[in-house]
Amino acid sequence: MRRLLPLLVLVFLSACGAMTAPPSLTAAERARIAAAQLELSLGVGRHAASWSREDLVTALAQWHLFRRVDRLEAFAEAPDLVATVQVVGTPDNNVPIVTFLTLGIIPTVGKGYDGVRVTLAAPATGRTLEIRIDQKDLVIIGWGGAVLLGSEEWVRASAYNRRMFDRIASELAARAETIETLPLR
């Protein structure tokens, strides 16, 4: 174990990092979410993301965008819509060799692409709608990135703060008219 400790410290120190958070909602986007009250139930099903499914359920429920939002298995009868979530993204930077060698003191700065794909499906009709939320990120690996995590403008890589959930709600509200028609025959 003693021999592994320096390696673990090396990996831990240089793995500290941050990426830019999604932008805050504008007043117009907040108003659009408040105006889009869908009389549909939404069950959140398959979830391929680093954040918990319950965080998404709670965030969407707080916006009151749908009549009911819950985990798919919490519904006794099939909900009007089923959501599947997948996080997509690719870092655009090379392996942070200098950051590893300097134990995170010299950061690696790069760009990346990050996003979420939410697919809504209506079990009654089989129709689907895919919604993508994309953003370009600035990624800082090393202690410099760890310091930035104190700001709301930065998050850990593959982690999301409230802003990503707000972005998802905003995109759902923007497509409210289309979403309402999914379960209609």
Helix (H, G, I), strand (E, B) or coil at 93: coil
Of 9-23, 46-60, 64-78, 113-127, the poorest mean pLDDT is in 9-23
**Per-chain mean pLDDT for the chain:** 85
Number of H helices, E strands in the chain: 7, 7
Percent of the chain with pLDDT over 90: 43
Q: What is the pLDDT of residue 38?
A: 94
* Per-residue pLDDT at 158: 63
Pair 108, 141: CB distance under 8 Å: yes
Query: What pLDDT sits at residue 12?
Result: 59
Q: Tell me: pLDDT of 31 over 90.
A: yes
Residue spans of the domains in the chain: they are 4-181
pLDDT tens, 89-142? 776 767 788 888 888 888 888 888 878 899 999 999 999 999 998 888 888 888
pLDDT tier, 11 (very low <50, low <70, confident <90, very high otherwise): low
Structure tokens at 173: 């509200």
Report the b/e string of 41-68 with b at 16+ CB within 10 A: bbbbbebebebebeebbebbeebebbee
The region that residue 41 occupies, defined by phi over 0 for left and psi between -120 and 50 for alpha, beta otherwise, is beta
Write out the two tokens for 116.
């979420």
42 membership: H or E segment, kind and range: strand 38-48
In the chain, % of residues over pLDDT 70: 87
Which amino acid belongs to residue 38? L
Residue 2 pLDDT > 80: no
Bridge partners (DSSP) listed for residue 43: 70, 82
Residues 48, 20, 91, 101, CA torsion sign: negative
Grade residue 16 by pLDDT with cuts at 50, 70 and 90. confident
Q: Which residue has the higher pLDDT, 22 or 25?
A: 25
d(CA 19, CA 103): 19
Mean pLDDT confidence for 162-175: 91
Question: Can you tell me which residue has the tokens 């108003």?
Answer: 31
Which residues face 130 on adjacent strands?
119
Predicted confidence at residue 14, as pLDDT, reads 47
- Full-model pTM: 0.80
